[in-house]
Chains A and B, each alone.
Chain A
Amino acid sequence: MTAAAPEVLRLDRVGKRYPMGDTVVDALVDASFTLHEGEAVAILGPSGSGKSTLMHLLGFLDSPSSGEILFEGRPVAVITERQRAQIRAEKIGFVFQAFNLLPRLTVRANVALPLSYHGSPPADADARIARALALVDMTHRAHHRPGELSGGQRQRVAIARALVNEPRILLADEPTGNLDTKTAAAILDLFKELNRLGRTIVVVTHSPEIAGHFRRQLHVLDGRVKEGGAR
C-alpha cells in the first residue's frame, strides 16, 4: 500500500442503523478506513455481519445513519441525488452477487446501460462496449439474453457492465458466491488483472482462501470493521 496514492473513499465513524420492529439493528458501527487509488481490498466476514451494508454505502446506493463518507475528499452527504447518480454511472462499477442483469435486454444492451444516462452516449460508446465485452470474453454472446447464459457468463456480463465506463473503483459484493469454484477462480483472476491495470477494487467474500489473493483485508464482525493483516 502506497501512502502517496490519492485517496478515493474515506469513511469516518460511519454507522448504519435499521429500524426493526420496536428495536433497531446496528448493521454497521463506527466504521473508519480509507481507500486509496489502485488498492485491492477483500472484505471478509460471516453472513449477516454487515458486508453488504458497507458495500452499498461505498457505492452511494444507501446513506449512512451517522458519520461521514468522503468521495475524492468531498462529503457524499452534500452531493445531490443527480450527481450521485452520475458518479455511480461514471466512477463506480458495482457487481452484485445476484448479477442483476435486465432479463429483457440483450447482453450488449445490458452492458450499454450505464452509458445511456447522463447526456448523450459518448462517441466511442461502441468501442467501449466492445472493449468491456472482450475483457470478460463475452463478445460472442453480445446478442443473447441473460436467460440464455450460465451463471458464470452472467456474472462476466455484470462485470463488463460495471467496467464499461472505465470507473476508478470497482465494488463487487460476493461476485463468486453463486458460482462453482472453477468459474469463481476465473472471475477472481479477472479482478486481479483489472487491479494490475490500475483499478481500485473492493471485493466481498467469505472465503479466506479467496481473500488471501488480495493485498489488504478488512474483517467485518457484528457491524464492526477491523483492519486485517496486509500481505
Chain B
Amino acid sequence: MKRLFSGVINGLIEIWGHKLRSLLTICCVMLGVASMVLTTGFMEGFFKGWEVSLQEQGGLEKITGTPSSPSERQAPLAAVSRGFTPRDARALAELVPGLEIISPEIDAVRARLTRAGKSYDGRRGGRVQGVTNAAFEINRYELESGRFFSDLDFNDHASVIVIGGSVKKALFKPGENPLGEFVEMNGQPFRVVGVLKTYERLWGDFNTLYWKNDIAFVPLATMAAKVQRSDRLTGLNFKAPDVTRLRETLDAASNVLAQTHRGIIDFDVRTNEEQLASFASTKASFVIGGSAIAGVSLLVSGIGIMNLMLASINERVREIGIRKAVGATPFNIFSQFVAEAVTLSLIGGLAGVGVAVGLIQALSAMLPPGNGPLLAPSAFVVGFAFSVTAGVLAGVYPAIQAAKLDPIEALRYE
C-alpha cells in the first residue's frame, strides 16, 4: 500500500517534470474516457426511455386479443362464431386461473367529438373507446381531474366520457374546466366526468406517448347500446399474473376463446414479447457498438500512454541505471514505470469523467426532459476501470523494456 502510494507520488513528480507531454497524454485518456461515459450515458437514456414506454403500454404481462379472419378452411363456418363479446371476458375470468385484470374494448367507428364549434376527429389514430375501468388499470392511465366510471354509469348506459389531454386541448380553451361540460359524439351529448393526465416523452420534437393523449373513453355498455348498437368487442386485453406465467396464461386463454367461439379461430392473442425481443436485440447491437467505441478509445489512449512512456524511458536510461546501481531490482523498475502509466491514465480518467458529467448536465439542461443522456453510476466505474486498464496495458511493455536495461549500459549512456 505504502509502495503503491510512493509509486503514485513518483509518477506525479515525473508527470510534473514533463508537463506538456504529460498533458497531451492525459488529454488522450480524457477524450477516451469522456467519449465512453457519454456513449454509455446516451445508451442508458435511450433504453430507459424505451423501457418506460414499454411499461406505459401495459408492461410485459399484457396480452392483447383482437379479432382476425379465420383460416380459409374455417371460412365457410365463420358465422357459427359470434366473435368477441363481453361473454368472452366473463369466460376468461372464470376459466383462466390468476387473471385479475380483463379489459374488453369496443372502438367507435369514425367517432367525431365536437363542442361549441370546435371538433376533434382523432387525427394520428386518436379514437374513442368503450371500456370498463380495467382499461385504465391495464394501460396505466391516471386522472388529472374528475373520476373514472362508476357501476351506475355501466348499469344505466350513462352518457359520460373520460377524455385524454389532446382531446381536452382540442375542445376546451386553456384554463377552462371540462368537468361537467358536455361534448358531442356524432351528435349525441356526453358529460365529461374525468380528464386524463397528459403524457409526454419527447424524442426531439416528437412526443412518443402522443397515443396516450389522443383518446377518449365511454363506458363499454354505453358504447354497445348507444353508439355502435352491437356488443361486438374490437379488443380484449388482459394481464398475466406475472411474466413467468405469460406462456401458460396465453395458452389457457386461447383454449377458452376457441371454446366460446365454437372452435372458430377468428381471434388473435399475442403478448408484448415481440416488442421485448426487439428491445433486447437492439440493446445487444448497441452494446456491441458501444464496446467497439470503447475499444477504439482504449486503443487510442493506450497508444498515447505507451508513446509517452517509451519516450520517457529513452530519456531516463541513466536514471534507471542509477536506480539499479543503488539496489533496485528489475521488478522495482518495472513497478515504477507501471505506476507512472497508471497515475497518468488515472488523472486522464478522472478528467474524462468530469468532462462527461459536465457535458451530460449541459445536454440535459438543453434537451427536453426524457430524452437526454442519463448519468449512470456504472459510467464512473467503467471510466475508472477503463483508465486503469489502459494505463496498465500500455505501461507494461515500456516497463519491461526499462526493467531489462543493463545497469552498466544505462550508466554509460550519455
List chain A positions with a Cβ less than 8 A from chain B. 56, 59, 61-62, 81-82, 85-86, 88-90, 94, 96, 100-102, 104-105, 113-114, 116-118, 120, 161-162, 165
Contact = CB atoms under 8 A, between A and B. Distances in A.
Contacts of B327: 85-86, 88-90, 113-114, 117-118, 165
A82 B329 CA distance: 6
B116 interface: no
A113 B2 contact: no
Contacts of B2: 120
A100 B17 contact: no
Contacts of A105: 13
Contacts of A101: 322
A85 B407 CA distance: 11
A81 B322 contact: no
Contact of A100 (B13, B329, B411): B411
Nearest 3 CB-CB pairs, A to B? A89-B327, A85-B329, A88-B327
Given A102-B319, A116-B6, A120-B2, A96 B329 contact: no
A139 to B, nearest CB: 20
A118 B331 CA distance: 10
A145 B194 CA distance: 82
A104 B324 contact: no
Contacts of B407: 61-62
Nearest to B13: A104
A104 B321 CA distance: 15
Nearest to A86: B327
Given A88-B327, A105-B13, A118-B329, 15 more contacts: A59-B325, A61-B325, A61-B407, A81-B330, A82-B331, A85-B327, A88-B325, A88-B326, A89-B328, A100-B325, A100-B411, A102-B323, A113-B326, A120-B2, A161-B326
Interface string B399-414: 0000000111001000
A55 B326 CA distance: 14
25 contacts: A56-B408, A81-B330, A82-B331, A85-B324, A85-B327, A85-B329, A85-B330, A88-B324, A88-B326, A89-B328, A90-B327, A94-B325, A94-B326, A100-B321, A102-B322, A102-B323, A104-B13, A104-B14, A104-B17, A105-B13, A113-B326, A114-B326, A118-B327, A118-B329, A120-B3
Contacts of B282: none
Nearest to B407: A61
Contact of B329 (A56, A81, A114, A161): A81
Contacts of B411: 61, 96, 100
Interface in B304-362: 318-319, 321-332
Contacts of A116: 6
B315 to A, nearest CB: 12
A85 B328 contact: yes
A14 to B, nearest CB: 15
B173 to A, nearest CB: 76
Contacts of B13: 104-105
A199 B319 CA distance: 27
A89 B329 CA distance: 10
Contacts of A88: 324-327
Contact of B332 (A102, A117, A120): A117
A89 to B, nearest CB: 2
Nearest to B3: A120
A143 B322 CA distance: 20
Contacts of A96: 325, 411
Interface in B1-32: 2-3, 6, 13-14, 17
Nearest to B327: A89
Contacts of B408: 56, 61-62
Nearest to B329: A85
Interface string B187-225: 000000000000000000000000000000000000000
